[in-house]
Chain A
Amino acid sequence: MIIEIRTKEKYAKNEEAGFIGRMAHAGLKVKAARLSRLYRVEAPFSRAEFGRLGADLLTDKITEHYSLSQWRPGLKKAWRVEVWLKDSVTDVVGESVKGAIADMLGKEPETVRFGHAYYVACESEVKLRHAVARTLVNETVNKFRIGKI
């Protein structure tokens, strides 16, 4: 199960501007961007339990929303970039969250991995891929995929 956490729109301006600036630095003009955090929780939990993790653990109620399915922001001509650490690389946040889930539900998931998703409206996928490689990911430690939305 992937739990996706996104900042409420009215609080997301800074992180979006930061991202757009970073991409501009890498030579890509981004028209609009939305960001989210991804927690891949591998565990035989019920949907209600995953929901509880989303609502009570992984989300800051004041500033964030969560969803158990992939978010669909209303962006036109846009791509979704999903970035994770490679499986061979220790995921520090993932480990921490694994412990916190055990604290909350009283049972530990097999694995938790932490990642990011970026929804990017821009000119072309080729240019996006190039900018992502230049600034967002390091293929030594990261894996990523880009898909049209």
Chain B
Amino acid sequence: MKRPKAIVLRGTATNCDIETANSFRYTGAEPELVHINQLLAGEKKVLDYDLMAFPGGFSYGDDISAGKIYAVKMAKLAKDFERFIKDRRPVIGICNGFQILVKTGFLPENRGNAQVATLYTNDCGHFLAKWIKLKVNPKSPCIFTKGLPAEIELPMAHGEGKFIMEDKARLAALVKSELHALTYVENPNGSMLDIAGITNAAGTCFGLMPHPERNFFPWQNPDRPAARAAEAAGFQFFRNAVEYVR
């Protein structure tokens, strides 16, 4: 069977790149770690790949605000990224990757890719790492969450995850189109409408704060009985994407 090519984007202090690439490889893709500098230098081209991931981490120290500096670096390559998304090739942004997609304006989807939302400092005021329960929106067009049970568990690990969308009408439209693919059961950071992950209308560009690659194998679960399950929730996110492009 064809092994789709996945570009796993990195930069300085993109820390979750290797395990994210491992997850793609395990589900049948051929991942490649590519530094943003390689794209800027023209050594690599995003359009040569079938799948794209923005992994978690602290790109460029998350100085100024999380994902901001990486987003600034991407500005020169905006056309290629737009094309990639328009082609409906799957893109997943996890944690810092989600923050990057929001700060580049690719999510929430809008004409002209303006930043229309943000992920702000958690209500508790600091970084928080723990396992949380999430509701999966069965009506969402998101291709990554298809077939998941109504409630899943994933670990979160972020300091800036509070989803804020200023424009009430825009937020209502997002919800009406079921683009809020994942919501928190118990809101850990103060996000509007408990939003943990959103997608574009096509369902192919998806950003979420929790880490599916950390609940990819059942034994990554802190509760041992759950660890004996046949399959972990995070596994399905990646398999869905790989199967979508096959």
Contacts and interface: CB of A to CB of B under 8 A. Distances in A.
Interface string B67-86: 01100110100000000000
A58 B64 contact: yes
Interface in B98-135: 103, 115-118, 120-121, 123, 125
Contacts of A18: 125
Q: How large is the interface on B (under 10, 10 to 19, 20 to 34, 35 or more residues)?
A: 20 to 34
Contacts of A57: 64, 68, 72
Contacts of A11: 120, 164
B121 A15 contact: yes
B60 interface: yes
Interface string B42-78: 0000000000000000001101110011001101000
Interface string A90-102: 0011001101100
B19 interface: no
A99 B37 CA distance: 13
Contact of A62 (B61, B69, B117): B117
B231 interface: no
B115 A103 contact: no
Interface residues of A, number: 18
Contacts of A61: 115, 118
Interface in B137-160: none
Contacts of A70: none
A14 B123 contact: yes
Contact of B73 (A58, A62, A97, A103): A103
A104 interface: yes
Contacts of B75: 104
B186 interface: no
B174 to A, nearest CB: 14
Nearest to B122: A14
- Which residue, B63, B75, B115, B118, has most C-beta atoms of chain A within 10 A? B63
Contacts of A58: 64
A124 interface: no
A92 B60 CA distance: 10
Interface in A51-71: 57-58, 60-63
Given A63-B164, A92-B61, 14 more contacts: A15-B125, A57-B68, A58-B64, A60-B118, A60-B120, A61-B118, A62-B115, A62-B116, A62-B120, A93-B61, A93-B63, A96-B61, A97-B64, A100-B68
Interface of B: 60-61, 63-65, 68-69, 72-73, 75, 103, 115-118, 120-121, 123, 125, 164-166, 190
Top 3 A-B pairs ranked by shortest CB distance? Answer: A96-B63, A62-B118, A100-B69
6 contacts: A14-B121, A62-B166, A96-B60, A100-B63, A100-B69, A104-B75
